[in-house]
Amino acid sequence: MSPVPRTYLAGRRRFKGLTQESAAEAVGVTATTWARWERGQQGIRAYYWPRIAEILGIQESDLARLLGLTAEAAPMRPTGIAAVVEEATRLWRSEMETNRRALLAALPFIPSALGEWLLSHTHDTPPATTAHQGPGPKVGLSDATRMREACEAFKKLDSQFGAGLVRPAVVEYLHSTVTPLLKGTYSADVGRELLSAAAETARLAGWTAFDLEQHGSAQQHYGQALSLAKASGDALTSVWVLRTMSLQAFHLGERRWAGRLTNAALDTARRAEASPRVMAMVLVQHARALALADEPDGDAPARHDRQVERLLNEAGQALAKGPHDRDPAWAAFYDSAQHAFGEGRVWSSLGHHRRALASADSAVSSLDGLFVRAVQLGRVDAANAHLAMGDLDQAVATARATVPAAKTLASSRTAQLIRRFANRLEPYGTSPHVREFRDHLKAALPV
């Protein structure tokens, strides 16, 4: 059946002086979703009705009657295995075409799109089966195992050299190796492992885009990773994806979305009865979101020091329990150094800069030589703590130590965070040390 345009929806929007973009932003969806609603190409969840009626200035009952709506439960994201696979592989195919790859890299981060992914993650029904009968090869558990091993190898290269080196290989692998496997024939047991492994690799594609400051592209890959994890029934990988999405939101200053993502990660982890190590990881992120939480009636950070300290204590006690037989393989990355990084950023958010410095120094000293990017990020955290405590010379010296490695790293994010530190030196622009550092930085890491 052909789509039937919802002419009243479009007409009423125009009557209220709204563009598709402004209407979508007010409701909390993307402009693409709103356009699909108007064209009759997509169901409108009952969840959105009250807000649509409000911005159009009509009663909710009138909206349903005028549009001929019932409580449509059409999912925002596809739910059948074939549809989930097709949506993900379409994105990966786009990465292989020069023009479309450039378009993806230039996409902006769209906060409202996070609402659609979260709603789908929380409320949509997963596929009835993870079995698939397709034109591709017959797939076994060994294929999923090899996919995870490849993903681990990519992650090690990313940590040591930055995303610019590894990202082309990751997206090529998704397109040339993962796509045929997902479109193959496999049993339900194999399908669960295969979709879960694909979710991990898609998350890595998003992570590498994030490290290159390609935030719209990162968001697209994260969304597909979340969809694949849900389809696989792997709640713990969903936790990991949500936690990674929250890191992007923190980086971009999207405090409220960071809070929503960390809440979703924590709720999912609790429902899945996650291991202590996984709980430690999400509790620290939840503490960071709470430390940055807005007051209900304003934009100033609320003071949640005691609650945040309780969360950090709980997280530390969980991590101290050590390895657990329920730890997913990917959780091995979360060790005492990663935990210290997270704690330091929480203390910094609360203004406890001495504790933030101690955490950053502990993290840097605990990392081995393969974690080149993490060491530089930790040093930037330490430099910011020194600056906040008024130790300008030490702050500049610490930041300067990051420049040689950052120059060789293929990590736009690392360079951007060093530049952010340099911008904080503006009040001290007359200092010879500051002038020399900023000139050195401009020469070594030109924009």
pLDDT digits (tens, 9 = 90+) for 362-398: 999 998 778 999 999 999 999 999 999 999 999 999 9
CA gap 281, 74 in Å, rounded: 33
Query: CATH second-level architecture of 7-67?
Result: Orthogonal Bundle (1.10)
pTM: 0.84
Both tokens of 74, joined, read 């059409």
pLDDT at 71 (0 to 100): 44
Residue 89's φ and ψ, nearest 5 degrees, are -70, -25
Long-range (24+ apart) CB contacts under 8 A made by 400-407 are 400/437, 400/440, 402/376, 403/440, 403/441, 403/444, 403/445, 404/444, 405/372, 405/375, 405/376, 406/376, 406/444, 406/445, 407/444, 407/445
Both tokens of 73, joined, read 């439960």
- CATH 1.25.40.10: which residues of the chain? 335-447
Find out whether 125 and 79 touch, Cβ atoms under 8 Å.
yes
pLDDT digits (tens, 9 = 90+) for 155-174: 999 999 999 999 999 999 99
- CATH 1.10.260.40: which residues of the chain? 7-67
Residue 131: is its pLDDT beyond 60? yes
> What letter represents residue 124's amino acid?
D
pLDDT digits (tens, 9 = 90+) for 317-376: 999 999 999 999 999 999 999 999 999 999 999 999 999 999 999 999 998 778 999 999
Where residue 169 falls (left for φ over 0; alpha for ψ -120 to 50; beta otherwise) is alpha
| Domain 335-447 of CATH type 3.40.30.10 | no
